[in-house]
Structure 1
Amino acid sequence: METVTTRTVEYPADGLTMIGHLALPAGVDRRPAVLLGPEGMGLSDVERRRADALAELGYTALAFDLHGGQYLDDPEEMLARCLPLLADPDRMRDIGHAALDVLRTEPRTDPDRIAAVGYGTGGAIGLELGRGGVSLRAIGTVNATTTGRPGESARIRCPVWAGVGSEDPIMPPAQRNAFTAEMQAAGVDWRLTVYGGASHAFHHPPVDHRVVPGVGFHPQHAQRAWRDIIDLLAECLPVSSGDARERGHRSAQTPR
């Protein structure tokens, strides 16, 4: 694995000062980059470690912030902020664009080779960037089979992969079907992986605070979803100095 350097980056978005986590691979050359979005609770060490793992694979990676440096571990507080956000595509795009600008202006980033990967609210933001016409190489989401405004998914110009738990009450079958129908009607190159028996946020290690019903960690599927993300990046955003898929499979454990 490559030696990784990290730093905190501050930038304005949504009327807040966001505090993101930038991870850089070894070397000085430009690399393909990944914009990494967190669950609705906000940026945590889980996403920071995943950004570091992507940098180990050779990517420049930015784990972006949702709440101005706050982690909303109270479910009511999180929903009070995220539900209006998820109902406002333009606001989601503004948050995504602000983070994308930070990633694009990083000297180690190849601005023409960027993918968006996200979980929950962070995944929904990645989809909205695509619907807004941002040129991305891939969009990968977990727990975010969210639909957009009519017709806008036709602007997505890259493959889309979505992963969801079969027992996720927040993204139930009707929501998944609406998402796939939207992608199909728009002519998007899409894939949906349903992880049997998994709940919402199945990828996220257990937390020490109260969560809403229907949320739970599934360690086997968490590792599978991570490998699926690495496969997506290896296909759509390969690292020129080596095969990201091969490296990712050598380190199959999900970053915790």
Structure 2
Amino acid sequence: MTITTRTVEYLADGLTMIGHLAVPSGVDRRPAVLLGPEGMGLSDVERRRADALAELGYVALAFDLHGGRYLGDPEEMLARCMPLLAAPDRMRGIGHAALDVLRAEPRTDPDRIAAVGYGTGGAIALELGRDGVNLRAIGTVNATTTGRPGEAARIRCPVWAGVGSEDPIMPPAQRNAFTAEMQAAGVDWRLAVYGGALHAFHHPPVDHPTVPGVGYHPQHAQRAWHDVVDLLAECLPVTE
């Protein structure tokens, strides 16, 4: 399918964010996917994923975290992301601002939107769900993050989470706390654990330092992508 792409600017978290919007050819309204990046920020990895989703027939917005910047310095990334991850309302603000941009796109069907995120972007997707946003599905990789007590009951869609078995940033105790939260809230949830994979196993190698416990696993990266696409096909099917 032919697609068009463009850069979109919008305000969030006191910054001018620069997202990447990919739209399938045609004039009809389409289901849409909000796509969140790892803590380093929006890169060509997420832009290509948005393009791939548009080729499948979705309107896709890869949203920004850091005002157009990619934080390749691990210390700078942690200094920005750790306070953000501890502030659900800030995460929701970033997510809502991007969601508003996606909904404003004329090709988007505002009643058929899913949120998929990686790392920090996945935590933001979950917070949108905990805020009661009308989503058709939430998918996360490396983001088995828990929320404020009781708020998961506001999630109104299936939740899929993928994590590496050897991820030290999202270890078994964190995974268990996440699944307990989802189960107690009555959420339709599932968890995929990819054997032998580290944190950010889905992300191709980068040419800068990373935090400990990060590593690419090409087989599981492909499997996790297929699992995300399957989630969307189930919960947000594209109809020609």
Query: Fold conserved (TM > 0.5)?
Result: yes
In structure 1, how many angstroms separate the alpha carbons of the residues matched to 2:58 and 2:211? Answer: 34
Find the counterpart in structure 2 of residue 26 from structure 1: 25
Find the counterpart in structure 2 of residue 180 from structure 1: 179
SS in 2 for 1:85: helix
TM-score (norm 2): 1.00
TM-score (norm 1): 0.94
Q: In structure 1, give the amino acid aligned to 2:203.
A: H
In structure 2, how many angstroms separate the alpha carbons of the residues matched to 1:213 and 1:122? Answer: 19
How big is each residue's C-alpha offset from its partner over 1:114-172, in whole Å with a ceiling of 9 and x where there is no partner?
Answer: 00000000000000000000000000000000000000000000000000000000000
Confirm whether residue 99 of structure 1 aligns to residue 98 of structure 2: yes
Ranges in structure 2 where 5+ consecutive residues have no aligned partner: none
SS in 1 for 2:49: helix
Aligned runs of 1:153-192 on 2, under 5 Å? 153-192=152-191
Find the counterpart in structure 2 of residue 201 from structure 1: 200
How big is each residue's C-alpha offset from its partner over 1:88-125, in whole Å with a ceiling of 9 and x where there is no partner?
Answer: 00000000000000000100000000000000000000
Find the counterpart in structure 2 of residue 73 from structure 1: 72
Find the counterpart in structure 2 of residue 211 from structure 1: 210
RMSD: 0.3
CA shift at 1:220, angstroms? 0.1
In structure 2, how many angstroms separate the alpha carbons of the residues matched to 1:52 and 1:212? Answer: 28
CA shift at 1:8, angstroms? 0.1
In structure 2, how many angstroms separate the alpha carbons of the residues matched to 1:231 and 1:183? Answer: 20
CA shift at 1:26, angstroms? 1.0
Find the counterpart in structure 2 of residue 5 from structure 1: 4
CA shift at 1:71, angstroms? 0.1
In structure 1, how many angstroms separate the alpha carbons of the residues matched to 2:212 and 2:146? Answer: 23
In structure 2, how many angstroms separate the alpha carbons of the residues matched to 1:76 and 1:83? Answer: 10
SS in 2 for 1:234: helix
In structure 1, how many angstroms separate the alpha carbons of the residues matched to 2:120 and 2:27? Answer: 32
How big is each residue's C-alpha offset from its partner over 1:65-108, in whole Å with a ceiling of 9 and x where there is no partner?
Answer: 00000000000000000000000000000000000000001000
Find the counterpart in structure 1 of residue 87 from structure 2: 88
Confirm whether residue 225 of structure 1 aligns to residue 224 of structure 2: yes
In structure 1, how many angstroms separate the alpha carbons of the residues matched to 2:48 and 2:64? Answer: 14
Find the counterpart in structure 2 of residue 248 from structure 1: none
In structure 2, how many angstroms separate the alpha carbons of the residues matched to 1:78 and 1:40? Answer: 7
In structure 1, how many angstroms separate the alpha carbons of the residues matched to 2:194 and 2:202? Answer: 11
In structure 1, how many angstroms separate the alpha carbons of the residues matched to 2:103 and 2:125? Answer: 15
Q: In structure 1, give the amino acid aligned to 2:117.
A: G
In structure 2, how many angstroms separate the alpha carbons of the residues matched to 1:209 and 1:101? Answer: 33
In structure 1, how many angstroms separate the alpha carbons of the residues matched to 2:219 and 2:44? Answer: 20
Confirm whether residue 47 of structure 1 aligns to residue 46 of structure 2: yes
SS in 2 for 1:18: strand
Q: In structure 1, give the amino acid aligned to 2:239.
A: S
In structure 1, how many angstroms separate the alpha carbons of the residues matched to 2:8 and 2:53? Answer: 17
SS in 2 for 1:50: helix
How big is each residue's C-alpha offset from its partner over 1:218-252, in whole Å with a ceiling of 9 and x where there is no partner?
Answer: 000000000000000000000011xxxxxxxxxxx
In structure 1, how many angstroms separate the alpha carbons of the residues matched to 2:25 and 2:104? Answer: 18
SS in 1 for 2:230: helix
Q: In structure 2, give the amino acid aligned to 1:36.
A: L
In structure 1, how many angstroms separate the alpha carbons of the residues matched to 2:230 and 2:70? Answer: 29
Q: In structure 1, give the amino acid aligned to 2:71.
A: L
Query: Number of paired residues?
Result: 240
